[in-house]
Amino acid sequence: MTKKSSCYLDAMAMLEAADEIHSPQVCEQALQHMAQDITRDLGETYPLVLAVMGGAVVFTGKLLPLLKFPLDFDYIHITRYGDRLQGGEFEWLREPYEVAGRDVLVLDDILDEGHTMKAIVAEIMARGANSCHSAVFANKLLPKNKAITADYVGLDVPNRFVFGFGMDAKKLWRNLDGIYAMSEPD
């Protein structure tokens, strides 16, 4: 048997110490509800769906097959966390292209303070989109107002650093099919 790397062992220890917040089954049900709501509202608008990389990758991959109407798909990339636990300055790694005149739906993994989604919506509308809706799989419950609220929310999560379902913990565990919260320091 090969010797397990320290990265592997650290990742396993992080997961073992974490708390499960939403099971894979609950996540799947939430996806179904979101797909119904989005279909009801945007199903006849031929929207441009923009996934925010990289956190939205799991949400997007699971949601798109549930949207049974014509749409265009592209991705954007903006980050303000990098591999840090606290938000910092925005960095556009791929800007929104060809949004003028379109009804746009932005998909992201989590709405925390809302600064990222606010900046995205502002940029898309400034580029002449007809409308811009936002869908986040996880909405963090905060004891203060957010910069923006999302039009579609999958699940609420507690005010802790969460990971899984596309969200990373120190670059790890985006591949989990449920949502977990990191253990808090004693």
Ligand X SMILES: O=P(O)(O)OC[C@H]1O[C@H](OP(=O)(O)OP(=O)(O)O)[C@H](O)[C@@H]1O
Q: How far is the CB of 1 from ligand X (least distance, A)?
A: 33
Per-residue contact string for residues 2-41; x = within reach of ligand GUN by CB under 6 A: ----------------------------------------
* Nearer of residues 31 and 169 to ligand GUN, judged by Cβ: 169
Interface characters, 79-118, with ligand X (x: CB under 6 A): xxx-----x--------------------xxxxxxxxx--
DSSP state of 155: E
Which of positions 159-178 make contact with ligand GUN (CB under 6 A)? Answer: 161-163, 167-168
One-letter amino acid for residue 158 of the chain: P
| SS3 category, 71 | coil
Rounded to whole angstroms, how far apart are CA atoms 29 and 41? 19
Site for ligand GUN in 76-105 (CB under 6 A): 81
Q: Is 137 in the site for ligand GUN (CB under 6 A)?
A: no
CB 134 within 8 A of CB 161: no
Q: Smallest gap, in angstroms, from Cβ of residue 45 to ligand X?
A: 24
| Nearest residue (CB) to ligand GUN, 75 versus 81 | 81
- The string of DSSP codes covering 111-146 is ESSSHHHHHHHHHHHHTT-SEEEEEEEEEE--SS--
Q: Which CB, 127 or 174, lies closer to ligand GUN?
A: 174
Residue whose token pair is 């923006």: 148
φ and ψ at residue 37, rounded to 5 degrees: -65, -40
Which residues 6+ apart lie within 8 Å of 22 measured at CB?
30, 155, 157, 165, 178, 179
Q: Which amino acid is at 18?
A: A
The footprint of ligand X (CB under 6 A) covers: 52, 54-55, 79-81, 87, 108-116, 168
The footprint of ligand GUN (CB under 6 A) covers: 81, 110, 112, 161-163, 167-168
